[in-house]
């Protein structure tokens, strides 16, 4: 197969969901259809791994495994599928967001009893901002959940995206009979008496099937008529533009509706997209020169070394082992010798990685999040990754005041690498760190000790809302313990508000001050 064909068959996506909605379960199902059994075990191992937050060895084990499950690849129906993991739970971090910058589509898994939950909402905002297609899987139909029509309106009201159901539940919970599959004009029967899982609508219309007279089926047919009249029509262009989400109902645990979902998803999910440089030039996947960008750096593969893995999304061309590339930020040549590819069967299996794929480059401190690499004439970097406004804050100090040098060096490098966000108190000069998830602080502390021999003391400051202000409006007198005046690492002034109440109070008191949620997506 030539390179162009290889690139065109790539489908690279991430699953976004709130913890417990069923992401792990559905991922395993998808991998099973792709024949990637080994990886399926890995996903579970990672999830059940006994993970004590404060213990580095555990974090490390956890992280060690998660490198292999960070990208899961398999072939299905002539497509090569890359699923990028978006860690949640205690693992939630800026990397979770950044991973969404490296995919061409997203699958949103929702628990039918719970609807849209907090983490789904946050992740969806990033996906929406990028304008990439989102496919929705409403899970756990084998249990009682909310009314399907209700769930569709929630998508519209809470997320602001229109939806088009691709199938429709016939009952749910203990009355779950199956799915009315609009695309394939058939019914997928949940527990078929005669063993026949798929029944053509024509058979049901003629009344030749026991389900034909089932009240839940009749209700589904009624709902379907209503949807056909009043619902959104399926429109592929709007799906691709991220304006309309196709909705699939199912039950991941019983592997019901998952394969139909996968097939439909692969029919519509886009092939690798182009990527813009800071100059606005679009680099197309089919260009001959290799190019890519680092979207995540995962530290500590081996505690004795400062090594890490830089995850690179290939934007154009083809990766070859040992190839020399230029790092656009520094202008230096680097050799891509020690590279992990993520294959379905074994991790070492060398096949071609092309545009759309992800490679893991062994790194001893060369790369930063957002770095561009290329073999070609590309002189400009790709557009920078957005910064995701942190919500959790810690005050941080060196335990030993005599060791300021290693303390500052460590902070500077880890902040540059993208591991954590740095803020400085405008008045006192105190150093504060911001993160989107608790794990970022723990990894930071451990890396400071191990890599920079700097013991630190961290004092939790709790949640804060960040608002940037115009430098001209800066007035130190406006600062208080409820709205701390600080600067970010680029010296932009901002306030850290204790809560919404403090924010409103400030707005009342200083109506002329413009507060911006800048640098957020």
141 is in an annotated binding site: yes
Instruction: Assess 123 for contact with ligand GDP (CB under 6 A).
Output: no
The reply to whether 139 sits near ligand GDP by the rule CB under 6 A is yes
The nearer residue to ligand GDP, 139 or 421, going by C-beta atoms, is 139
Q: Kindly state whether residue 22 participates in binding ligand GDP, applying the rule CB under 6 A.
A: yes
260 touches 273 (CB < 8 A): no
| Phi, then psi, of 403 in degrees rounded to 5 | -105, 45
How many angstroms separate the Cα of 435 from the Cα of each of 62, 139, 177, 388, 478? 20, 30, 45, 9, 25
Q: Which residues contact 387 (CB under 8 A, 6 or more apart)?
A: 421, 519, 520
Task: Tell me: does residue 296 bind ligand GDP (CB under 6 A).
Answer: no
Q: How far is CA 253 from CA 44, 136, 149, 189, 485, in A?
A: 13, 16, 23, 16, 49
Q: With binding defined as CB under 6 A, does residue 142 bind ligand GDP?
A: yes
Q: Cite the DSSP H helix spans in 269-388.
A: none
Secondary structure class of 465 (helix, strand, coil): strand
Cα(449)–Cα(437) distance, integer angstroms? 20
- Judged by beta carbon, residue 24 or residue 465, the one nearer ligand GDP is 24
To the nearest whole angstrom, how small is the minimum distance from the Cβ of residue 111 to ligand GDP? 8
One of 25, 260, 341, 421 touching ligand GDP (CB under 6 A): 25
Q: Which is nearer to ligand GDP, 59 or 252 (CB)?
A: 252
The DSSP bridge pattern shows strands 392-398 and 456-463 to be antiparallel
3 binds ligand GDP (CB under 6 A): no
Of the candidate spans 22-30, 75-83, 173-181, 296-304, the one that interacts with ligand GDP by CB under 6 A turns out to be 22-30
Q: Name the E strands within 420-480.
A: 421-425, 431-435, 456-463, 465-468
Among 240, 244, 252, 344, binds ligand GDP (CB under 6 A): 252
Minimum Å distance from CB 440 to ligand GDP?
20
Q: Which of 93, 167, 251, 465: binder of ligand GDP (CB under 6 A)?
A: 251
Q: Residues 45, 253, 334, 513: which binds ligand GDP (CB under 6 A)?
A: 253
**Contacting residue, 32, 129, 143, 243, with ligand GDP by CB under 6 A:** 143
89: annotated binding-site residue? yes
Q: Annotated binding residue at 491?
A: no
**Residue 197 — φ and ψ, nearest 5°?**
-80, -40
Residue of 364, 367, 363, 354 lying closest to 291 (CA atoms)? 354
* Least spacing, CB of residue 18 vs ligand GDP, in Å: 7
Least spacing, CB of residue 160 vs ligand GDP, in Å: 23
Minimum distance of ligand GDP from residue 190's CB (angstroms):
12
Q: Which helix (H) or strand (E) holds 425?
A: strand 421-425
The per-residue DSSP string of 301-330 comes to SSTTS--EEEEEEEEESEE-TTEEEEETTT
**Cα distance from N-terminal residue to C-terminal residue, the chain:** 39
Give me the 210-249 binding string for ligand GDP, x by CB under 6 A, dash otherwise.
----------------------------------------
List the beta strands (DSSP E) in 105-231. 105-111, 134-139, 162-165, 167-170, 178-181, 186-189, 198-200
* Relative orientation angle of helices 56-70 and 37-48, to the nearest 10 degrees: 150
Q: Does 113 bind ligand GDP (CB under 6 A)?
A: no
* CB of 44 vs ligand GDP, minimal distance in Å: 9
Which residue, 144 or 208, is less far from ligand GDP as judged by CB?
Answer: 144
CA distance 418 to 380: 20
Tell me how far apart the alpha carbons of residues 465 and 477 are, in angstroms, rounded to a whole number: 19
Tokens 């092309």 belong to residue: 354
Which listed residue (79, 80, 140, 308) binds ligand GDP by CB under 6 A? Answer: 140
Contact call for residue 24 and ligand GDP (CB under 6 A):
yes
Closer Cβ to ligand GDP, 112 or 277, answer by number:
112
With respect to ligand GDP, which residue has the nearer C-beta, 16 or 411?
16
Q: Which long-range contacts (CB under 8 A, 24 or more apart) does 202-209 make?
A: none
Give the range of 21-29, 30-38, 219-227, 437-445 binding ligand GDP by CB under 6 A: 21-29
Give the shortest CB-177-to-ligand GDP separation in angstroms.
16
Residues in binding site for GTP: 17-24, 85-89, 139-142
Residues binding ligand GDP (CB under 6 A): 17, 19-25, 47, 139-140, 142-143, 251-253
């Amino acid at each position: 197969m030539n390179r162009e064909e290889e690139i065109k068959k790539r489908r690279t996506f991430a699953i976004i969901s709130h913890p417990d909605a069923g992401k792990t379960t559905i991922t395993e199902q998808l991998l099973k259809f792709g024949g990637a059994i080994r990886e399926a075990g890995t996903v579970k191992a990672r999830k059940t791994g006994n993970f004590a937050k404060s213990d580095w060895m555990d974090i490390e084990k956890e992280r060690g495994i998660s490198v292999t499950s960070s990208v899961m690849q398999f072939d299905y129906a002539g497509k090569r599928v890359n699923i990028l993991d978006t860690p949640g739970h205690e693992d939630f971090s800026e990397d979770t967001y950044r991973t969404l910058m490296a995919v061409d589509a997203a699958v949103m898994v929702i628990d039918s009893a719970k609807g849209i939950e907090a983490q789904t909402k946050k992740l969806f905002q990033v996906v929406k901002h990028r304008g990439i297609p989102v496919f929705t899987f409403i899970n756990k139909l084998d249990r009682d959940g909310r009314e399907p029509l209700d769930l569709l309106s929630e998508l519209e009201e809470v997320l602001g995206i229109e939806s088009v159901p691709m199938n429709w539940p016939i009952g749910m919970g203990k009355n779950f009979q199956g799915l009315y599959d609009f695309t394939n004009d058939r019914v997928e029967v949940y527990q078929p008496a005669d063993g026949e899982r798929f029944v053509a609508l024509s058979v049901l219309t003629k009344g030749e099937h026991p389900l034909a007279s089932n009240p839940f089926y009749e209700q589904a047919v009624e709902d379907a008529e209503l949807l056909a009249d009043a619902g959104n029509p399926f429109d592929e262009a709007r799906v691709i533009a991220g304006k309309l989400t196709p909705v699939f109902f199912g039950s991941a645990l019983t592997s019901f509706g998952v394969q139909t979902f996968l097939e439909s998803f692969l029919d519509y999910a886009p092939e690798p997209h182009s990527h813009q440089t800071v100059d606005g030039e679009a680099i197309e996947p089919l260009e001959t020169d290799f190019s890519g960008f680092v979207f995540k750096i995962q530290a500590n593969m081996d505690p004795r070394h400062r090594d890490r893995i830089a995850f690179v999304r290939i934007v154009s061309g083809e990766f070859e082992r040992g190839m020399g590339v230029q790092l656009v930020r520094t202008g230096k040549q680097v050799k891509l010798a020690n590279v992990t590819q993520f294959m379905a069967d074994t991790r070492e299996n060398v096949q071609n990685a092309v545009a759309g794929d992800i490679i893991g480059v062994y790194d001893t401190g060369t790369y930063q999040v957002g770095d561009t690499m290329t073999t070609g004439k590309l002189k400009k970097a790709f557009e920078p990754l957005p910064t995701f406004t942190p919500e959790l804050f810690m005050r941080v100090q060196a335990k030993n005041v005599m060791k300021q040098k290693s303390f500052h060096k460590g902070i500077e490098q880890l902040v540059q690498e993208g591991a954590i966000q740095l803020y400085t108190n405008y008045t006192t000069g105190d150093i504060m760190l911001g993160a989107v998830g608790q794990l970022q602080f723990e990894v930071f502390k451990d890396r400071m000790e191990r890599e920079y021999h700097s013991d630190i003391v961290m004092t939790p400051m709790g949640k804060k809302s960040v608002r940037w202000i115009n430098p001209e409006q800066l007035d130190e007198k406006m600062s208080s313990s409820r709205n701390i005046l600080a600067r970010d690492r680029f010296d932009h002034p901002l306030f850290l508000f204790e809560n919404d109440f403090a924010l409103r109070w400030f707005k009342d008191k200083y109506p002329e001050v413009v507060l911006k949620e800048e640098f957020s997506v």
